[in-house]
Structure 1
Amino acid sequence: MRRAALATALLFSGSAFADDQGGDVESQLETLVVTGSPLHDSRADYAGSMAVLEADSLTLVNHSHIQQSLARVPGANLSRGNGQEYLPALRSPVLTGAGACGSVLAMQDGIPLFPAGFCNINELFAAHSEQAERIEVIRGPAGTLHGAGAMHGVVNVLGPSYGSADTGRASLEAGPNDRWRFTSRIPTATGAGSGLLAAVSLASDGGYRASSGYDQQKLTLVHRSGQSTSETRFNATNLEQDTAGYVVGEDAYRDDVLRRSNPNPEAFRNVRTARLSHRLESEWGAGYKLEITPYARYGKMGFRQHFLPGQPLEETAHGSAGVRTSLTVPVNDLLGVAAGVDGEITHASLRQSQSGIAAGSGFLAETVPPGRHYDYHVNAFLLSPYALASLRLTERLVLEAGLRLEKLSYDYDNRMLAGRTRDDGSSCGFGGCRYSRPADRRDDFENWSPQLGLLYSWRPAHQLFVNLAHGFRAPQATELYQLQREQQVAELDSEEVRSVELGLRGGAGDFDYEVVGFAMEKRNVIFRDADFFNRSGGTTTHRGLELALGYQLAPQWLVDVSASYAEHRYDDERLLDGIALQDKLVDSAPRSFGSARLQWQPDAATQLELEWLHQGQYYTDPLNLHSYPGHDLLHARATRRLGERWSVGVRLLNLLDEEYAERADFSNFSGDRYFPGESRALYAELSLQL
């Protein structure tokens, strides 16, 4: 096939490990980063895998969903659902079900988007990524530096800051299905070098499928003091989304009628979030630096669980406050040390209720009754000291070692009768109600996260690194306190990942590269067994190779590629339908996926890009009996400046109008099921520099 041949040619000639457009390799490696380590401020000093999506790239992609930008990162394979929903995958299978959320730490400006222990599987929709100045991604365990949830990696969305030389801008975008989006960024000087930046993103989308539109508003306010380096940030988001469910049937995503249908027009998700932080920074002496960032968060969500019998409504809320600290001490010319304490307190609540009788069978009608299923509050406390040291062993060799201790405590208060009764205390037939509520209790989890890395600069702008890391994920509140059937207590352990990676990066002249091989073992994997009990004790193994290559074909032409090959397998003695899971490939885990871009800049005012996305075949059930064949997509993008103030941009997505599934799955109840991908779509944007 011609497309496959083109993809293969690009795969072996192209780069996406830092997505910096133009410039020499050494300057790309010296790209300033804030997510990697308090002891270093550039990618060249980081003994691990990090990708940086810069402002130029984000502007060109102009994503309506963050997955469209993260597709440029090796090892990142987010699976979109409907609207702004997604399932995460970062050096992992697509994470779904019990034990899924909270495995990839999602942050905005260095602050986790949700409290520790109260994750949301779609939490990046609460980041103002549409106005990001950059997105930094750590692949692999990063618990030593970042703590709870950084088991498979970190996605940190870095928003804009106020600059006295900045000018404002505004843009308006239109597309199919009544899609429009307005964005603006306005700086205002407040005197003595201080200033306030206001960034707004407003979007509305009628939805590619029936009853699947959304309205979304995001606001960022940043105040920067001219008298100090302190900065105050406020972010607020609101999402009102009609949710589309799976279409069912073999290859249903290829059916022109089914792909636009919505079996669950009543489903919705409404989410509101707000975050306030204030960063204090002080430097003195020869390199001493102290950072203190207190913050507060609020979140509220209403979610119609259309995939459950009776379609119950889940209502969650949380309020939290915390502080993140870092003290950097240059002991001498060879040794640097950073240490700090992170702390957080959270008050959260969850209520699940059902208004009508569950349809489908007499068994469901009796065991899934109307009324409240769960109603509880949880107070949580997190305390997490850490230390990191960097020792230069020779002129070219640096050793880095770190350790974090994290303690997370839950105080659970059940606001209903304990057990598996109806909300009025009466019993259900057929042995009891489906939902079970534990009695009031307290749970504590303590985790250690060590890390050891070596970085060797074997030539200028060429580095070899080895990284041994440990990541962890404490059980989330929903896994501990939303039980089913006879289970009265979920005795869960923290999930753990042990990882080793070996990487080589650098370049010369017009060529740059990064190659990383990794091996990980994940223990105490949390899952729901055949009795619908939340259990821990599963084990999986993960082996893979990530590749990023870039080549400046000519002054006006650039080829850029990211590619991943990995095998994620079960490594435990569990049986499913009497069949052992041992050595089976984890479902929703393609061996190969990646992207490639051919960019042309004919003049200083014009930029064009052709992007190819590849999704390999993957199994849709744990026993590897059903699969999705994968797909290949082509996208085209272009921007053009019109004078000093105006510019235009166009995006033609799914250029060849392929029929594909954003996500494929298999259920024993319904069979093959899919979230259909959108057909060819043209978006146009007009921007004004104010």
Structure 2
Amino acid sequence: MAVGASSANANDSIVVTAERRDEPLQRVPQSISVVSREEIVLINADHIAEILAGTPGVNIHRGSGAEHLTAIRSPVLTGGAGAGSFLFLENGVPIRSAGFANINGLFDAHYEIAERIETVRGPSGALYGANAIHGVINVITPSPTDDLSFFGEAFGDTEDRYKWKATISDTNNRHGFLAAASVTSESGYREDAGLDQQKASLRHVFQQEDVQIDTIFSLDNLEQETAGFIFGEAALNDRELRRMNDFPQARRDAKSSRLQSTISIATSENSSLKITPYARWNDMEFVQHFFPGNALEENGHWSAGIQSAYYHDEGPLSIIVGIDAEYTEGSLREFQEEPTIFSFTQGLHYDYEVTALNASGFAQTSYAFSDNTKAIAAIRIDGTIYDYTNNMSSGVDGRFFRPSDQKNRFVTASPKFSLLHRFSDNDSVYASYARGARPPQTTDLYRLQSNQIDNPARPETIDALELGVRGAIGEKIRYDLAGFWMNKKNFFFRDADGFNVPNGETRHVGVEADINIDLHPTLSLASAFTYARHTYRFERLTGTLSETIRFGDDADTAPRIIANTRLSWRPLDRLSFNAEWVSMGSYFTDAANSRSYEGHNLLHLRTEVAVTDELSVFGVVRNATNALYAERADFAFGNDRYFPGEERVLGFGIRYR
């Protein structure tokens, strides 16, 4: 994804997610995409899914309000799989504790004011461990500026959505400061679906000779009335029915705060040390409108941890070693007020507490055989202990199974081997093998169902092969191509009847392209394309449940084709236009491959006019063709279900730099 010279393929791109330190993208033997600050400002996203729509291999389904489900070289995953398969970072630190992740975890990140967003596609467990099964998304807060600077923006649109954001920054001698805030308020595209969210970030950087201390504090508050699914294709294509909300009681309230401080020390000419202590807290409650019982879930956890990495670079040899550790206390309570419906019983379903201890060690060695060729070998060992306490009676209640008090221990290994060869400063090819591994989420182990008494969740693993090439053709064309093959075992997911499947196996094979072309000094084209097949590699033939899974069938919510193309035109220094085409291919909405969504194509238009050197006005037309489409389509409990996408929206804003 790119706009002009800010492309992720630009030769001077620097990424930090690959090794937890600055590194030129051309020297990274891995698929990484970067969304720059300029692109984030241009898109002015209502949801982070809009920002990442142009990243190859990434497919984020918007839910109601700030909610979302994620795919990175995968189907769009739900439940424990959705929470545990993707690692969401803010400035290199996980937003949630590994066993307590949230499938909607990106709404905590302060992406609205981010300096950039880096996405690693494919397993990244060697340096990051649990939850980096399919990929990593790292939202990076802006660094303090050298001189006093201010950025402010106000925006409103025809859906009664209003947004404000601002940053102020300066450096005084050895101290750099940044303060940023953003506020969103909207009445909602659908009935009883309003949203209010506030975020704040503070950053302080102290620099003295060979020591730097970088401290970041983040705060988020979300209050939203949640719209549930609409049912049936007729409702999806009816401009009145698609705005209805059959679940006016649904809501989601979430609060979180995070504090981290990275201490960087140059220990010698060739060595350095990074230590990052951190703490986090979050609390959330929401109505599970996607289940017939509409139960209220309350969950939260607090954590304290530390990351460390020691770097030594000498001659052709580079070594990284580190230890990470984290302690977490969390809880979950689920209560259904409504009368029993089917096997969803009235009353308290779960009430438990979990303490968790995670400790990990990792090492990576890189050796340059020549100026242009290097090999990398890495491994990480993760140890996890969960101590679970059940605060109510154990046993089966309807579809719900509450295990007795217990301790669970897991040890997983994540090796990686890579080879990179550079033909020139602009052209390189790489190949890699990686294994991702993670212990089950706490909800996978302790929020169980009646079919799991003798078949608990186990650690999930994925083995991945990747081949990629980056380069340029002349000075006008830049490209980043990658092919991948991945096989995942012990896949834990929820079927169309709401039952957990603990022992699935899937395969993921595809190609990705990120191409940027300077058509003219005033005109540029950026295109991201993905073709992939995500298939089940096991069978689940049963007459008791409606959903049968057959070996080789497509995984549900896994379109084979995803494409995004952006055309940017700047005819004058003070005037710019941008047109974005988003294409979502068709996909099956159930694992039995009996129901499907036909896909959609959307057109977004944007323009900005600089009134002065500091002040500009901008406008956007989202879904310019007024298409009727689904942000998410699935099939469950015998129904075709949809989250309808917004119709044509016109917005206007002012921006001060």
Q: Which residue of 1 aligns with 2:384?
A: 408
Q: Which residue of 2 aligns with 1:428?
A: none
Displacement of 1:164: 2.9
Amino acid at match of 1:225: F
Amino acid at match of 1:585: D
Does residue 439 (structure 1) correspond to residue 404 (structure 2)? The answer is: yes
* C-alpha distance in structure 2 between counterparts of 1:586 and 1:531, whole Å: 16
Paired residues for 1:672-687 under 5 Å: 672-687=640-655
Does residue 390 (structure 1) correspond to residue 371 (structure 2)? The answer is: no
Does residue 201 (structure 1) correspond to residue 182 (structure 2)? The answer is: yes
Amino acid at match of 1:59: V
Q: Which residue of 2 aligns with 1:274?
A: 257
Displacement of 1:101: 1.5
1:365-403 CA-to-partner distances (Å, cap 9, x unmatched) read xx5443322111100000010001110012221101100
Does residue 569 (structure 1) correspond to residue 552 (structure 2)? The answer is: no
Q: Which residue of 1 aligns with 2:624?
A: 655
Which deviates more, 297-306 or 455-464?
Answer: 455-464
1:3-62 CA-to-partner distances (Å, cap 9, x unmatched) read xxxxxxxxxxxxx2xx36327999x23311110124761101100100011111111001
Does residue 628 (structure 1) correspond to residue 628 (structure 2)? The answer is: no
Q: Is the 8 A contact 1:147 1:404 kept in 2?
A: yes
Does residue 64 (structure 1) correspond to residue 46 (structure 2)? The answer is: yes
Q: Which residue of 2 aligns with 1:298?
A: 281
* C-alpha distance in structure 1 between counterparts of 2:220 and 2:407, whole Å: 32
**Would the alpha carbon gap of residues 165 and 243 (structure 1) be closer, same or farther in structure 2, given more than 3 Å must change?**
same
Displacement of 1:309: 3.2
Instruction: State the secondary structure of the residue aligned to 2:99.
Output: coil
Q: Choose the corresponding residue for 1:232, options 203, 215, 224.
A: 215
Displacement of 1:602: 1.4
Does residue 335 (structure 1) correspond to residue 311 (structure 2)? The answer is: no
Displacement of 1:187: 2.4
1:555-601 CA-to-partner distances (Å, cap 9, x unmatched) read 00001100000000001132254855111000100000110011101
* Gaps in structure 2 of 5+ consecutive residues: none
Q: Is the 8 A contact 2:59 2:71 kept in 1?
A: yes
**Would the alpha carbon gap of residues 599 and 530 (structure 1) be closer, same or farther in structure 2, given more than 3 Å must change?**
closer
* C-alpha distance in structure 1 between counterparts of 2:627 and 2:216, whole Å: 42
* C-alpha distance in structure 1 between counterparts of 2:7 and 2:105, whole Å: 36
* C-alpha distance in structure 1 between counterparts of 2:501 and 2:184, whole Å: 40
Q: Is the 8 A contact 1:38 1:338 kept in 2?
A: no
Does residue 380 (structure 1) correspond to residue 363 (structure 2)? The answer is: no
Q: Choose the corresponding residue for 2:551, options 582, 586, 591.
A: 582
Which deviates more, 32-41 or 134-143?
Answer: 32-41
Q: Which residue of 1 aligns with 2:63?
A: 81
Amino acid at match of 1:175: D
Amino acid at match of 1:672: D
Which deviates more, 550-559 or 479-488?
Answer: 479-488
Q: Is the 8 A contact 2:145 2:170 kept in 1?
A: no
Q: Which residue of 2 aligns with 1:523?
A: 489
**Would the alpha carbon gap of residues 646 and 503 (structure 1) be closer, same or farther in structure 2, given more than 3 Å must change?**
same
Q: Which residue of 2 aligns with 1:218?
A: 199
Instruction: State the secondary structure of the residue aligned to 2:191.
Output: coil
Does residue 462 (structure 1) correspond to residue 444 (structure 2)? The answer is: no
* Gaps in structure 1 of 5+ consecutive residues: 1-15, 422-432
Amino acid at match of 2:619: V
Q: Which residue of 1 aligns with 2:396?
A: 420
Q: Is the 8 A contact 1:211 1:262 kept in 2?
A: yes
**Would the alpha carbon gap of residues 230 and 287 (structure 1) be closer, same or farther in structure 2, given more than 3 Å must change?**
same
TM normalised by structure 1 equals 0.91
Displacement of 1:188: 5.2
Percent identical among aligned pairs is 38
Paired residues for 1:41-56 under 5 Å: 41-56=23-38
Which deviates more, 197-206 or 579-588?
Answer: 579-588
Does residue 399 (structure 1) correspond to residue 387 (structure 2)? The answer is: no
Q: Which residue of 2 aligns with 1:307?
A: 290
* C-alpha distance in structure 2 between counterparts of 1:247 and 1:627, whole Å: 16
Q: Is the 8 A contact 1:24 1:510 kept in 2?
A: no
* C-alpha distance in structure 2 between counterparts of 1:492 and 1:647, whole Å: 54
Displacement of 1:476: 0.4
Instruction: State the secondary structure of the residue aligned to 2:290.
Output: coil
1:43-93 CA-to-partner distances (Å, cap 9, x unmatched) read 011001000111111110011100001011000110111111111001111
Amino acid at match of 2:240: V
**Would the alpha carbon gap of residues 466 and 628 (structure 1) be closer, same or farther in structure 2, given more than 3 Å must change?**
same
Does residue 617 (structure 1) correspond to residue 586 (structure 2)? The answer is: yes
Q: Is the 8 A contact 2:259 2:278 kept in 1?
A: yes
Q: Is the 8 A contact 1:39 1:328 kept in 2?
A: no
* C-alpha distance in structure 2 between counterparts of 1:412 and 1:561, whole Å: 48
**Would the alpha carbon gap of residues 260 and 596 (structure 1) be closer, same or farther in structure 2, given more than 3 Å must change?**
same
Q: Which residue of 2 aligns with 1:261?
A: 244
Does residue 319 (structure 1) correspond to residue 302 (structure 2)? The answer is: yes
Q: Is the 8 A contact 1:541 1:569 kept in 2?
A: yes
Instruction: State the secondary structure of the residue aligned to 2:74.
Output: coil
Q: Which residue of 1 aligns with 2:526?
A: 560
* C-alpha distance in structure 2 between counterparts of 1:160 and 1:534, whole Å: 41
Displacement of 1:604: 2.3
Amino acid at match of 1:384: S
**Would the alpha carbon gap of residues 630 and 55 (structure 1) be closer, same or farther in structure 2, given more than 3 Å must change?**
same
**Would the alpha carbon gap of residues 533 and 560 (structure 1) be closer, same or farther in structure 2, given more than 3 Å must change?**
closer
Does residue 643 (structure 1) correspond to residue 612 (structure 2)? The answer is: yes
Q: Is the 8 A contact 1:349 1:377 kept in 2?
A: yes
* C-alpha distance in structure 1 between counterparts of 2:539 and 2:231, whole Å: 31
Which deviates more, 379-388 or 227-236?
Answer: 227-236
Paired residues for 1:330-369 under 5 Å: 330=313, 332-358=314-340, 360=341, 364=342, 368-369=344-345
Q: Choose the corresponding residue for 1:95, options 71, 77, 92.
A: 77
* C-alpha distance in structure 2 between counterparts of 1:478 and 1:678, whole Å: 32
Paired residues for 1:3-14 under 5 Å: none
Amino acid at match of 1:470: R
Q: How many aligned residue pairs are there? A: 651
**Would the alpha carbon gap of residues 466 and 20 (structure 1) be closer, same or farther in structure 2, given more than 3 Å must change?**
farther
Which deviates more, 192-201 or 611-620?
Answer: 192-201
Q: Choose the corresponding residue for 1:179, options 161, 182, 186.
A: 161
**Would the alpha carbon gap of residues 617 and 473 (structure 1) be closer, same or farther in structure 2, given more than 3 Å must change?**
same
Q: Choose the corresponding residue for 1:547, options 513, 516, 529.
A: 513
Q: Choose the corresponding residue for 2:147, options 138, 142, 165.
A: 165
Paired residues for 1:143-162 under 5 Å: 143-162=125-144
Displacement of 1:488: 4.0
Displacement of 1:623: 1.4
Amino acid at match of 1:519: W
Q: Is the 8 A contact 1:187 1:197 kept in 2?
A: yes
1:92-123 CA-to-partner distances (Å, cap 9, x unmatched) read 11112452221010010101010010011000
* C-alpha distance in structure 2 between counterparts of 1:487 and 1:450, whole Å: 31
1:406-444 CA-to-partner distances (Å, cap 9, x unmatched) read 0111000111111135xxxxxxxxxxx332211100011
**Would the alpha carbon gap of residues 663 and 31 (structure 1) be closer, same or farther in structure 2, given more than 3 Å must change?**
same
1:297-347 CA-to-partner distances (Å, cap 9, x unmatched) read 0000011112223311110110001011110012x3111100101111000
**Would the alpha carbon gap of residues 471 and 249 (structure 1) be closer, same or farther in structure 2, given more than 3 Å must change?**
same
Q: Which residue of 2 aligns with 1:471?
A: 436
